[in-house]
Amino acid sequence: MGEMTLHLDILNRKNIEDALNTELIGRGVFELHDTIDSTNSRAAVLAREGAPAGSLIVARQQTAGRGRQGRTWISPPDAGIAMSILLRPEIPLTRLPLITLATGVAVAQAVEALCGIQLGLKWVNDLTAGGKKVGGILAEMPGQALVIGIGINLRLDEGSIPDDLKNRIDWLENLAGKPLEPSLLVAEICRFLERQYFTLLEGKSQAIIDSWKHYSVTLGKEVMVISPTGDNARNISGRAVDIAESGALLIEKPDGTRVELSAGEISLRSIDGSYC
């Protein structure tokens, strides 16, 4: 008997197109790259060249993927979803930060619908499961446009994960216990993201926040706010109690006063220093 080989699906343009059930997202420019520096950087170039809203850039591998706060996002070949969507929303700037929360909701909904996995959302841009990071969102504004970047760990080779990350990251196929079809996931994310985006355009901020709260792993937790400038004086501890209409996080300090944090230059840790 021949050895059984496991067939793993890889991203494929036709499979994405066939599954795409959207009006806007994926209907402008659509590029699928075998390898690229960063899908967000590519979307920024396209944005400056005037590419239409809804343009979609997907890559099987990134060589210079970027995360929040100047971090690197590692995208080995066919190990994850790396995608960027170019949008041109005409809404007040104050409402824009909600797009990161809305995208988190869309990804969680898509993963739930397609893979049967419940993801958690850690304010402001992290996708988590069981206290580990599974993915992240990077929203940027090149020129007058909005680029939403989504990175998700799909299939990782356990041996290749650096020791210091082993307890901190997880991936969808590990959580699902079976192979997943990445092209279908891309299409499903586009569908759910489009819904959330239209909700944002309609001004229904509270609907986005309520959906985000459903997946939140942040609210109710004691958290430490870390400012990457290393300025300890600005570090705050308290309980994460609510999300403001702008998408900001409300922290209640031990003395009962509340502070409102916008995403900007901060990151959150659990009070014991763990990731979430």
Which alpha helices (H) appear in the chain, and where do they start and end?
13-19, 39-48, 98-115, 172-176, 182-201, 205-215
Binding ligand BTN (rule: CB under 6 A), the pick from 51, 129, 138, 186 is: 138
Among 46-54, 132-140, 159-167, 235-243, the segment contacting ligand BTN (CB under 6 A)? 132-140
Residue 193, both tokens:
């993201």
Residue 267 is a binding residue for ligand BTN (CB under 6 A)? no
Among 17-25, 67-75, 88-96, 103-111, the segment contacting ligand BTN (CB under 6 A)? 67-75
Residue 251 is a binding residue for ligand BTN (CB under 6 A)? no
The DSSP code sequence of 153-218 is E----GGGS-GGGTTTB--HHHHHTS---HHHHHHHHHHHHHHHHHHHHTT-HHHHHHHHHHHBSS
Contact pattern from residue 225 through residue 244 relative to ligand BTN, giving x for each residue in contact according to CB under 6 A and a dash for the rest: --------------------
Residue 122 is a binding residue for ligand BTN (CB under 6 A)? no
Token look-up 């909701």 returns 105
Task: Return the amino acid letter for 134.
Answer: V
Between 30 and 239, CB nearer to ligand BTN: 30
Between 131 and 207, CB nearer to ligand BTN: 131
Binding ligand BTN (rule: CB under 6 A), the pick from 11, 39, 154, 263 is: 39
Rounded Cα gap, residues 10 and 96, in angstroms = 33
Rounded Cα gap, residues 136 and 64, in angstroms = 15
Residue 136 is a binding residue for ligand BTN (CB under 6 A)? yes
Q: In angstroms, what CA-CA distances link 263 with 10, 109, 122, 216?
A: 34, 22, 12, 15
Among 133-141, 185-193, 234-242, 246-254, the segment contacting ligand BTN (CB under 6 A)? 133-141
Residue 123 is a binding residue for ligand BTN (CB under 6 A)? no
Where along the sequence are the contacts to ligand BTN (CB under 6 A)?
Answer: 38-40, 62, 65-68, 71, 73, 82-84, 125-126, 136-138, 149-151
